A and B are shown apart, each in its own frame.
Chain A
């Protein structure tokens, strides 16, 4: 009886040890990966301004990240604005506060939904393409070829993408905010019959430039985040076509998760900063 109990206890302890070991490995790998990505980011960012300047490459990537995402941002922005407005209208109707629909939508869009949705959409579209492109270049030895030619692959391939993402994301976020508010306007005024003057008057009263800035700053950080994660995943791709697929998947999923987590952290940090400085 006692032997049986001791045996079971030993098994249980071993199982616990295994779980603890696996958890430790997951955390260990996570921190090692964070370290690698940070070093990669530092190595790439310190190349900004180095010779040759790569202005053409930066503009080419801005066109790819920015121009080619405008249509999808216009679509998602306008429908998000309309859907959010309708839900808020339904809620506020219950407490007879429909005149606050405009500013509530505007706050939600400019501070949160604008930067987060822009980040998620562009990371899926442009980030995935970045990881796949660099991954293909790695497995087909094109990155080795660059290095052998005496061209720094990080300076030629990574740095321009990071800079382009940092510059382009706030612009896309601004477009998202604008069309989302247009969508909200169309739904609230034309469909739900709210008063146009009150709608815009309340927005002007409640929304400050700092709210818009908050979203734009966030979107620049999200741009840097997805560009770093995706280029890192692509740059260190191993294996053939399978490796490229895995790198693309890893890059997109990790950037999306990180954008959501970073959004929460940044919201708190920015609030804290505003409280501290009394803005």
Chain B
């Protein structure tokens, strides 16, 4: 039986300078529903640009981006807004609104999209998501600036989970964190994926070991193209020179 795809990308090309240089140069990628996929690659290989295409934040120069079976650039504005509600994104630095408390940050998307709900219920839902992401209730009324890096990630994750998304995206979730926090975030990603059965998780990272630790499906990008897609074992056994180099460097680091 054919696997249902959460995201399907066909020959995606993106140039920011009118076609002289392509950041994405013909990406073909399929991410199955319910999988935990890690997209890796050296910096400047187009990982974040690819992520922004999945979210519909960037328009492709050519090619197709299908999310949950819909070509996102053929959708109307309203349909795109609805589709975006099926995404939850944890940004690199959490991107919490710095003038709102942690609780207000998590309540914000719920309040925006479920205006019919009474405030009390919205707050209860937000508190539940914060508890799920492991943040202690004594931090709920703090501003993001008063939290540590790890706590901000937890709050960001709670906000990403606020609307019970079908697809969870993590943009470089462990960048700039110490090894203990990195492991904590990796475990959090895995736990969250397990708790939300059926939801698709996509992690963009340059940390190979984290990719091997958490990913069932790993995609490596190079020069705007998919160099290799497979399981961690496929990467360890690969003969491709660039993959070998990346794997060797990653293993040496640890």
Contacts and interface: CB of A to CB of B under 8 A. Distances in A.
B112 interface: yes
Interface in A44-89: 52
A33 interface: no
A142 B97 contact: yes
Interface stretch (A90-98, A123-131, A145-153, A191-199): A145-153
Nearest to B80: A150
Interface string A129-147: 0000000110011101101
Contact of B93 (A52, A141, A147, A150): A141
Contacts of A148: 55, 57, 84, 87, 89
B84 A149 contact: yes
A145 B91 contact: yes
A140 B108 CA distance: 18
Interface in B132-177: 163
Contacts, number: 48
Contact of A150 (B52, B57, B91, B113): B113
A20 B95 CA distance: 45
A140 B95 contact: yes
B121 interface: no
A144 B95 contact: yes
Contacts of B112: 52, 149-151
Given A149-B84, A149-B109, A140 B115 contact: no
B82 to A, nearest CB: 7
B182 interface: no
A147 B95 contact: no
Interface in B65-96: 81-82, 84-85, 87, 89, 91-93, 95-96
Contacts of B95: 140-142, 144-145
Contacts of B57: 144, 147-148
A137 B109 CA distance: 17
B98 interface: yes
B91 A141 contact: yes
Contacts of B98: 136, 140, 142
Contacts of A137: 97
A1 B82 CA distance: 77
Among A141, A147, A150, chain B packs the most CB atoms within 10 A around the CB of: A150
A148 B168 CA distance: 11
A272 B84 CA distance: 51
Contacts of A142: 95-98
B199 to A, nearest CB: 16
Nearest to A145: B95
B51 to A, nearest CB: 10
Interface in A139-195: 140-142, 144-145, 147-152
A56 B81 CA distance: 22
Given A52-B115, A149-B85, 20 more contacts: A140-B95, A140-B98, A141-B92, A141-B93, A141-B95, A142-B96, A142-B97, A142-B98, A144-B57, A145-B89, A147-B84, A148-B57, A149-B108, A149-B113, A149-B163, A150-B81, A150-B85, A150-B113, A151-B112, A152-B81
29 contacts: A136-B98, A137-B97, A140-B95, A140-B98, A141-B91, A141-B92, A141-B93, A141-B95, A142-B95, A142-B96, A142-B97, A142-B98, A144-B52, A144-B57, A144-B95, A145-B89, A145-B91, A145-B97, A147-B55, A147-B57, A148-B55, A148-B89, A149-B85, A149-B108, A149-B163, A150-B85, A150-B109, A150-B113, A151-B109
Interface of A: 52, 136-137, 140-142, 144-145, 147-152
User: Top 10 closest A-B pairs, CB basis?
Assistant: A141-B95, A145-B95, A150-B81, A150-B84, A149-B109, A141-B91, A148-B89, A150-B85, A142-B95, A151-B112
